[in-house]
Amino acid sequence: MAHITTSVEYGIHGLLWLVGNDGKALSSREIAEIQGISPSFLAKIFPKLEKAGIVAASEGVRGGYRLGRAADEITFLQIVDAIEGEKPLFDCQEVRERCALFTGGVPGWATSGTCAIHAVMKQAEKAMRDALAAQTLGEVASRFSRKAPESFFADFKEWADERQTTRTARTGRPVRDGPS
C-alpha cells in the first residue's frame, strides 16, 4: 500500500464536488453516493477536514459540508496533513548510537546534529511536501472544468436539486406498513 492513502483520495474527490456546488451544503452521504464510494467510510474522513478548517459543517436535518475557505486557498498538502496527520516519510532509528566500536558511551561527535541519512530523507520529504503545497483545490477544479462539457455541470445541478427536495419530502412519514 502506498503512503498517500485512499482516504486522501476520497477526501479530495469529495472536496471537488463542494467546489462545484456554489457554497451550498452537501451531506457526506450525498458526496459518497455521487462518487460510488462507501458512505460510512467517507463519514470518517470529513470530520478530519472539518477540524482543519478545510470544510465547515452544519448539523441537523438539512446539514452537511461547505468549503471552509476559498478553493484557491486550500492546498493538497493541507488536505493530506488533515487526513493523515503529518506522518514523516522516514522514521530514523538512530542506528549511529548502536555502533559496536563505541565501547562504553557514544562520543558527542557521533550524535551531534542530524543523522546524515535522516537529513537526506528530510530533504526528499520537503521536496514532496513543497510540490503538494504548490497545488490548490481551485486549480485542479478549474482544470477539470475545462475538460468537462457544460452538460455535466447541468446534470450535477439537477441531481443536487432533486436531492434537496426529496430529502425533505421523505420526512414525517413513519414507515409502518411492513411487518406489523
Name the site residues for DNA (rule: CB under 7 A).
1, 5-7, 10, 27-30, 37-38, 40-41, 43-44, 46-47, 50-51, 57-65, 84, 87, 167-168, 170-175
Choose the contact partner of 65 out of DNA, its own copies, none; CB within 5 to 8 A by kind. Answer: DNA
Between 88 and 107, whose beta carbon lies closer to DNA?
A: 88
Choose the contact partner of 36 out of its own copies, DNA, none; CB within 5 to 8 A by kind. Answer: its own copies
Between 87 and 157, whose beta carbon lies closer to DNA?
A: 87
Choose the contact partner of 135 out of its own copies, DNA, none; CB within 5 to 8 A by kind. Answer: its own copies
C-alpha cell recorded at residue 41: 467510510
Q: Which of 68, 71, 70, 87 is nearest to 129 (CA)?
A: 87
Between 62 and 152, whose beta carbon lies closer to its own copies?
A: 152
User: Quick one: which H or E segment has residue 143?
Assistant: helix 137-147
Beta-bridged to residue 67, according to DSSP, are: 55
Please tell me the distance from the alpha carbon of residue 165 to that of residue 151, in angstroms, as a whole number: 21
Q: How far is the CB of 164 from its own copies (least distance, A)?
A: 16
Choose the contact partner of 28 out of DNA, its own copies, none; CB within 5 to 8 A by kind. Answer: DNA
Torsion from C-alpha of 69, 34, 28, 150, nearest 10 degrees: 20
Q: How far is the CB of 153 from DNA (least distance, A)?
A: 21
Sign of CA dihedral 41, 69, 63, 148: negative
C-alpha cell recorded at residue 89: 516519510
φ and ψ at residue 56, rounded to 5 degrees: -115, 130
Choose the contact partner of 154 out of DNA, its own copies, none; CB within 5 to 8 A by kind. Answer: none
